[in-house]
Structure 1
Amino acid sequence: MSTVRIGYAPWGETLEEVADAARRAEAAGAKVIWVPELHRSATVTAAAVAAATTTARVGTAIALAFTRSPMVTALEAMDLDELADGRFVLGLGSGVQRLNEDWHHARWGKPVAHLDETVRAIRTFVAECTTGEPIELDGAHEPMRIRGYQRPYAVRRPAIPVYLAAMGPAMTRLAGRVGDGWISHELCSPAYLEKRILPELETGLEQAGRARTELDVVVSACCSVDDDAATARRRVAATVGFYASVRTYAEFFAFHGLAAQQEQVREAFRGGRGADHLADAVDDTMVDCLTLAGDPDAVAGRLAAYEGLADSVKLSPPTHGIDAAQTRAAQDSIIALVATLTGGHA
């Protein structure tokens, strides 16, 4: 039996549909329900999911770390943990500079050090906010000086798990040093995890004197399941194209021997195609290497390739370049596969 836990990132055109998908994924056997932050607030969506579920953990994957103050993030995390009866996981990520500064008017600074201080401030506040004692934290990015404050409500847990999203080496080492878990980019092959990510996580763990068992390694996997493998691949091709259009992912694609294929996608992008409409420029080699796409047996086999490398795999349906009906069909097929793999109920 596989030791890799399966999580799921539900999709919906409404919060009601997201909650329903979360409920069905939990019944199918998903151990964690993860919610993103881009088109919705991660914390509000997590609240909807927490109310709709009873056993699965509820996590943000990810909430933006710098667009809220650490105190607000901590308050929201404690409220969510209360709502979820101790099932909440706070997944944080830095985002990119332009998103922080131009979209949110948030400070960027040095993101690794900034995120390190953010995690420290959140954990300190959660642990000490009911004592009435002053909180004094120095820092270049997130100092915290709180006096005359005492939270009058009980804290469900004095330490809420904090997972960090990371792709670059320095941020990945930080996840190993201070995170309760690490969350991958949406595209993360077993080979990339083994050769590029795990060594950096191990370095971070060693720097902090921590054991590998203290870190939950969570791979994010864009998934598409259909009895017709070609249909499954085409659903997810635009997601691959979306990321291939970004020049900063050149090393990632080159690692997989896909530099020429990425350049083909980028040529289409430079020719005027939108980033969500590059599926025709993506060949099956890219899809098979970077996603879990195909018929149920093929997807189960690709999922098994993470055995011994990842602790958890977060499955998500494709959303780029396809309509809602196709995403909905992909979601239903993933939940059915989860039930088959875990013995749950679809």
Structure 2
Amino acid sequence: MKVDARLDVDDVETMCHTVRRLEAEGYAGIWTSETAHDPFLPLMIAAQQTERIQLGCAVAVAFARNPMTVANVAHDLQRYSRGRFTLGLGTQVKPHIERRFSMPWSDPMARLEEFIAAVKAILTAWETGERLHFEGSYYRHTLMTPMFRPEPHGHGHPPIIMAGVGARMVEAAGRSADGILVHAFSTPEYLRDVVLTAVDRGLSSRARARDGFEVSCRGFLATGRDEHELERAKQAVRARIAFYASTPAYLPVLEHHGWADLGKQLNTLSRSGGDDRWTEMASLIDDEVLATFAVVAEPDRAGAEIAKRYRGIADRYWFYTPYPIAADVLSSISRTIGAEG
């Protein structure tokens, strides 16, 4: 199991130092996310500052863009990283697409599959020189004049991975993508029973073997070097679990464990408007729920626990730690995971 790291976007000098450190510490990959910052720009810095580590966005919001703009940036990052870029795409949810990005919403699964097919068609046309002709239900790309055609770079297509939680979207990844990024709001049981089964269904539809299709898991970790740090970490993870559990799109994970009522209660609280609703929501995440969604352990035990939890499930793993934590603590845990296999 490869261990990756998330790149927190700060000032340029800090990012330069961070990506060099992460590569030196043996991480397999560096990932950016699209939250408060652009997911692509930091990867240009990372490509310039590193030599071997894989670089990717996990994920960029596809429906906030179009296949041509995404193909452009993917082509350039694959060139500048010398073949080390992975393009991660996700749908986001309807309110964000319509109200935050002011973009149209439609069947997310079908549209994202077509989006990926369009990106692949554009990249293929650029690398081979063949005529661009892609016509689908949502996207149409039939014009590519020489002035706007980038030169081939010879590094091949970047792998394209999809973000997914529900079985239908995960199955779509098996049909259309090169990997799946599983949301941290998952459990080992849900991953085995739902996610891996759906991946296999998707892969079988195009007669593709599981080899080469990567399952990447971002997992909650609550750890600390002393009792105070550990308690702070646990409270932060409880709050984040409560936030995700309040989202209707993630209800299937709770239903899988018989906790549908908890999800509905959290959703009601999240919409209540109360000043203390987020604190109250976190208090509903008891120790059983916390331990089901997160590894809770001191640093010297955390690596072995993570390796045990995700063995046979994840090809890649990266930490989800929504609280301050020293870099050397995570790098030590990462080395343990590597040693455990």
Q: Same fold (TM over 0.5)?
A: yes
Q: How well do the aligned residues superpose, as a CA RMSD in angstroms? A: 2.4
CA deviation digits over 1:110-150, x for unaligned, max 9?
21121111111111111212555431111111121124236
* Superposition TM-score, scaled by structure 1 size: 0.87
Match of 1:282 among 279, 285, 309: 285
Match of 1:188 among 181, 186, 189: 186
What CA distance in whole angstroms lies between the structure 2 residues aligned with 1:34 and 1:109?
A: 28
Q: Secondary structure at the match of 1:242?
A: helix
Say if 2:132 and 2:143, in contact at 8 Å, map to a contact too.
Answer: yes
Match of 1:114 among 100, 111, 114: 111
Comparing both chains, which one has the higher relative contact order based on Cα–Cα distances under 8 Å and sequence gaps of 6 or more? 1
Q: Secondary structure at the match of 2:46?
A: helix
Say if 1:125 and 1:135, in contact at 8 Å, map to a contact too.
Answer: yes
Task: Find the counterpart in structure 2 of residue 217 from structure 1.
Answer: 215
Q: Secondary structure at the match of 2:183?
A: coil
Q: Secondary structure at the match of 1:163?
A: strand
Match of 1:136 among 121, 133, 140: 133
What CA distance in whole angstroms lies between the structure 2 residues aligned with 1:101 and 1:267?
A: 22
Deviation at 1:207, TM superposition (A): 0.6
Match of 1:294 among 286, 293, 297: 297
Taking the TM superposition and a 5 Å limit, the aligned residue runs for 1:1-346 are 4-129=1-126, 132-149=129-146, 151-228=149-226, 229-259=230-260, 261-262=262-263, 265-266=266-267, 268-269=269-270, 270=272, 272-273=274-275, 277=279, 278-304=281-307, 305-318=309-322, 326-327=323-324, 329=325, 331-342=327-338
Task: Find the counterpart in structure 2 of residue 321 from structure 1.
Answer: none
What CA distance in whole angstroms lies between the structure 1 residues aligned with 2:327 and 2:267?
A: 28
Distance 1:331 1:275, change over 3 A: farther
Q: Between the two proteins, what is the percent identity of the paired residues?
A: 28
Unaligned runs of 5+ in 2: none
Deviation at 1:13, TM superposition (A): 4.1
Unaligned runs of 5+ in 1: 319-325
Deviation at 1:25, TM superposition (A): 2.7
Say if 1:61 and 1:91, in contact at 8 Å, map to a contact too.
Answer: yes
What CA distance in whole angstroms lies between the structure 2 residues aligned with 1:253 and 1:273?
A: 26
- The residue type paired with residue 240 of structure 2 is T
- The residue type paired with residue 242 of structure 1 is F
Q: Secondary structure at the match of 1:158?
A: coil
Say if 1:292 and 1:303, in contact at 8 Å, map to a contact too.
Answer: yes
Give the number of equivalent residue pairs: 332
Distance 1:19 1:280, change over 3 A: farther
